Amino acid sequence: MFHKEGHKIIFITLVIIVTAIMIVDYFVQLAWLRTSLMLLCIVFLILILQFFRNPKRNTVSNDNHALSPVDGKVVVIEEVMENEVFKEKRIQVSVFMSPLNVHVTRYPIGGTITYSKYHPGKFLVAWHPKSSEENERTTVVVENNTFGKVLYRQIAGAMARRIVNYAKQNNTTTQGADSGFIKFGSRVDLFLPLDAEIKVKLNQKVKGGESIIAELS
């Protein structure tokens, strides 16, 4: 199953690959070179298909849990000052996505979307300390009566040149539902209440919509 954000790109890529294979087959005489070029075309197509895959996730809804919004590796766990919305200290947990990860963004908690804003910006590498504040990004806050307010931020990286955000202010959503997509590698930051119990460790691999990032008693 492929994400709807990839349908157009997959179709265009397929047309280009088929055309390229036909040209190679017609004009390239050396058998080893012809085979190599065809294999490169097929590998490129496979990479595009892999990037836009949208596997089904078994989300276990729990208002006491904040789930990972994306697939990737935990690269930051620290107490920071969140200056855009809360204007107070929060626990930041950041998940870095490589181009090989699933790039669907999912709601970490269910509830009401109280804030959703796009920010134009730079395209620093996603692990740069200032990428959370200076890169192109979207900020979304979801609130429910159990966990309170959770902010997540989609951040563009050096390769990610388009962020798709479906969150609309005042809409209600369910935990683990599709909230957007980041094209070609980046990271997502979660900002959690200080009394949240963090359930992940640095460098741990997580799955969007399934891995528990934090819990509130």
Pair 125, 190 in one domain: yes
Phi, psi of 199 (to 5 degrees): -105, 5
Confidence of residue 77 (pLDDT cuts 50, 70, 90): very high
Pair 32, 79 in one domain: no
Pair 113, 205 in one domain: yes
- CA dist 196 and 216 (Å) reads 5
- Is-catalytic flag, 186? yes
**pLDDT tens-digit series, residues 84-129:** 999 999 999 999 988 888 889 999 999 999 999 998 866 565 555 5
**pLDDT tens-digit series, residues 3-45:** 888 899 899 999 999 999 999 999 999 999 999 999 999 999 9
- CA dist 38 and 35 (Å) reads 5
Element (H, E) at 33: helix 31-51
Pair 19, 74 in one domain: no
**pLDDT tens-digit series, residues 41-64:** 999 999 889 888 888 899 999 999
Pair 25, 108 in one domain: no
Rg of the Cα atoms in the chain: 20
Evaluate whether residue 57 is within a structural domain: no
Provide the domain limits for residue 35: 4-51
Among 190, 132, 135, which Cα is nearest to 158's?
135
Out of 131, 132, 186, 211, the active site residue is 186
Q: How many domains is the chain built from?
A: 2
Pair 92, 191 in one domain: yes
